[in-house]
Amino acid sequence: FVTITGRTNVGKSTLLNKMVGQKVVIMSDKPQTTRHKIQSVLTGPDYQVIFIDTPGIHKPKHKLGEHMVETALRTLREVDVVLLLVEAAAPGPGDLYIIEQVKKVDSPVLLVINKIDLVKPDQLIPLTKMFKQQHHFTEIIPVSALTGQNVDKLLDTVISHLPAGPKYYPDDIIVDRPERFIIAELIREKVLHLTSQEVPHSVAVVVEEMEKRSDNLVAVRAVIYTERESQKGILIGKGGRMLKQIGQLAREEIEVLLGSKIFLELWVKVRKDWRNREVYMKNFGLWEE
C-alpha cells in the first residue's frame, strides 16, 4: 500500500494516472480536486501496488475541507510507503507543514520532486539540498508526471521498498470504486474544467440511476448539487448550454469507460451550505468514517 500525499495542485492525480497507465482519477487545474481516498491497483508479473490518492493537504475553510485533510493525514500511518510530492521549487509553508507530518511516519518516505520539465537540470541540485535540510528522506526522485520522465524509475524504487504480502485484487481490477462513483467523478471533472470562481468547489455529483436498456445502451441519471441559486444558474447556462456541454464531454468519457452508448440525463439542485452539513456530505458519499 502506497500513499501519494502533498499540497493541493502539485500533480498527485496526474502522477497516479501515469504510474497506473490509464486515467483512474480526475484531474483539474483547480485546487482540492480530489475529495476521496481512492485506491488504484497496479498489478505486474511479481508485484501488486495499491496506490492511495488522497485529498491535497490544505488549510480548510469548511467542514468538508477539514474531513479531507484528516483523511489524508490519517492515511500516512496506514501504508507501507509514502510518496511526498512537491513541485520543483523551494519548499513553501505548505510543504514544510507536510514534511513535519511525515517525520512521524515509520514507513519509508520517498520525496518526489515533480514538474522537472519546467526547470533547468542544474536547478535540481540546490533544490534537492533544500529539501534534504528539512528531513532525511529515504530517497529523493525528480520526475515529470506530465511527460512521464523518470516515472518508471520511481515505480521501480517504490516496488523495491514494498514488503512481501498477499495479492489483494484480481489482475483486471484497477480501481476500488464502483462504476457509479467513477461516472459521478467524470461529470464533476467537466464542471471543474468549464466553470470558474467558487462554483467548482461547491459542486457534488450523485448518480441516482443506471439502467441497461439494450446490449449497447445504458441510461444514466445524475444530479449536480450546488450551494446557491446563482450557482445553479451558472451550471445550467443560458438556454441550458452549460449543462449540455458538461453532459456532452462527460458522456464521451463515460462511453469509453463502459464500452457502450450512454444516454446521460443531468439535473441541477441546490442544497444550501452542504459542505458544512454532515448529513448532506454523507448522502453525497463524501463523509467516510
Per DSSP, the three-state class of 165 is coil
Phi, psi of 221, deg, nearest 5 = -115, 120
Q: What is the pLDDT of residue 23?
A: 66
Phi, psi of 185, deg, nearest 5 = -65, -40
Q: What is the pLDDT of residue 33?
A: 46
Phi, psi of 19, deg, nearest 5 = -70, -40
Rounded to whole angstroms, the Cα distance separating 88 from 130 reads 11
Q: What is the pLDDT of residue 69?
A: 65
Measured N-to-C along each axis, helices 179-194 and 241-258 cross at an angle, to the nearest 10 degrees, of 140
Q: What is the pLDDT of residue 172?
A: 82
Q: What is the pLDDT of residue 94?
A: 86
Q: What is the pLDDT of residue 60?
A: 55
Asked if 134 contacts 165 with a C-beta cutoff of 8 angstroms, the reply is no
Q: What is the pLDDT of residue 259?
A: 81
Measured N-to-C along each axis, helices 229-236 and 241-258 cross at an angle, to the nearest 10 degrees, of 70
Rounded to whole angstroms, the Cα distance separating 221 from 208 reads 6
Task: Tell me, yes or no, if the pTM score tops 0.95.
Answer: no
Task: With a cut of 50, list the residues of the chain below it in pLDDT.
Answer: 27-35
Asked if 107 contacts 89 with a C-beta cutoff of 8 angstroms, the reply is no
Rounded to whole angstroms, the Cα distance separating 280 from 278 reads 5
Rounded to whole angstroms, the Cα distance separating 235 from 241 reads 9
Q: What is the pLDDT of residue 155?
A: 95
DSSP β-bridge partners for residue 267 = 223
Rounded to whole angstroms, the Cα distance separating 38 from 26 reads 11
Identify each DSSP E strand in 88-173 by its residue range: 109-114, 139-142
Burial readout 132-145 (b: 16 or more C-beta within 10 A, e: otherwise): eeeeebeebbbbbb
